[in-house]
A and B are shown apart, each in its own frame.
Chain A
Amino acid sequence: MTDGSAQTPLIEIRDLTMAYGTSVIQRDLSFSINQGDIFVIMGGSGCGKSTLLKHMLGLLRPSQGDILYSGNSFFQASDSQQGAMRQRWGITYQSGGLFSAMTLAENITLPLELYTRYTAAEITDIVAYKLALVGLAGYQSYYPSEISGGMQKRAALARAIALDPEILFFDEPSAGLDPISSRLLDELIAQIKESMGATVVMVTHELPSIFAIANNSVYLDNISHTMIAYGNPADLRDHSNEPVVRQFLTRSAAAAIEDKP
């Protein structure tokens, strides 16, 4: 872990409070994500993991606090600045978010046409390459509804990396996949992240994924409505002061934890 270093973190969450109307989801969240991290947002169901991700993506406004990208506040930036920040992100959504009325090739072509200066022929080559990266070479003309759920997840990943983003956001990337596909997807994410030099922010509660690829994490508690652990997930599993965090990371029932010293 590199927190505490002098350099500006890539993403900084500062005293963030999230609320829907008057009901507070999470309060006083403060953590930072550094360049090259694979950062996991963990927590029980309904604790606000996806809500936190939506705040980071600027889809929801924080009721208090701020989110900074390379030291610049996202919510105080102008529309064009926000647009520039968003172009550096690649995102996959919980249910894929692929455009169902477009083929896989058209899904990936869209951001390339909107934001790059590639020629049409180059875009065709790049689409073929992005699909090959996620193991879907030759599936250009398929519609999302014609391929399996696991393939949809990978196609969504191909669209997310279309613009060679600096930050990749994943909302439950392996939900609904079998253990083998889920592991392959984890490896794929790690390999792509490694070779593109990207930073990954991931919402998940798949323990194997968390231990396999994450190097930093935050745990959101849905009883106290704030973060109760922050650090490397393997460290947290072995040394966290919070029983509920150890419980979560060891997948054990409450009674088993209370026996421990």
Chain B
Amino acid sequence: MNLTMIALQTMNGLTIAAIYILLASGLTIVLGLQGIINTAHGFFYMLGAYIGLTLVSYTDLGFWLCLPAAFLVTSLLGAGLEASGIRTLTKWNRGHVHQVVLTLGFAIVGTEVVKFIWGTVPQNTSVPALLRGAISLGPIVYPKYWLFVIGSSISIMAALWIFFHWTGLGILVRSIDINREASEALGTNAPLLTTVIFGLGTGIAGVAGVLAGPILGLDPNMGFELLMVLFVVIILGGLGSLMGTVVSGILIGLIIAYGTMLLSGLAAKILVFGVMIVILIFRPTGLLGRGVAVK
């Protein structure tokens, strides 16, 4: 393996990581911060990808409007799922099993609707004209669009970090995470904020779907296939830790890139789970976890 191959696989790993990190950030916000297991997260990713496909292929809106459009549709749908379904389960004191059944059922029905509308044949979204072509990066020539995905992921993660640490709304959300009862007793409308944050998480998944479309392609099961890896990313990073999600996303992206090249695609996936098991043996709360188990 020469230097060019190492550089190329590292960049490939970082591109995969960029998509995983975006997707996992939405999942870790709702699971780690709010204790909600959303197995429909992959569905929102897939839906975002199909919204992108439609807007790029059949309208003049173009790729740039796909991103806010996919965010809007998937976040509103996610907020609706939380407000109408998950909040009711919480009110009835139902636990995680019920959340899994509800969100999985929603994802299955939603996937069938997507198959009905867009069909089951795998498709591809085209790359916007501005991002076609490649850039020379030292020993390698790398696609502009893939670099754009890495940049988008970094920008969105930075925005999330600023939101949670430097805005009033972010502080309220963190107070709910730390002590929901005390926060409500100080006037925080926790049910409303939970809905908003759930919508934010699913909205980011929709954006990730649009970004991944031209790289990974589209098919109605793309969300289910990614879900297991996403859970590995957030568990390995430490539930609720955005920084942990970034670190584990990069680690897993690189393992998949190098594993696929040196071994095979299947072996790379097995390797991901193997690494997770080994790390969790020595660090059960994940790489940057706060020692908080799933609530």
Partners in one complex: no
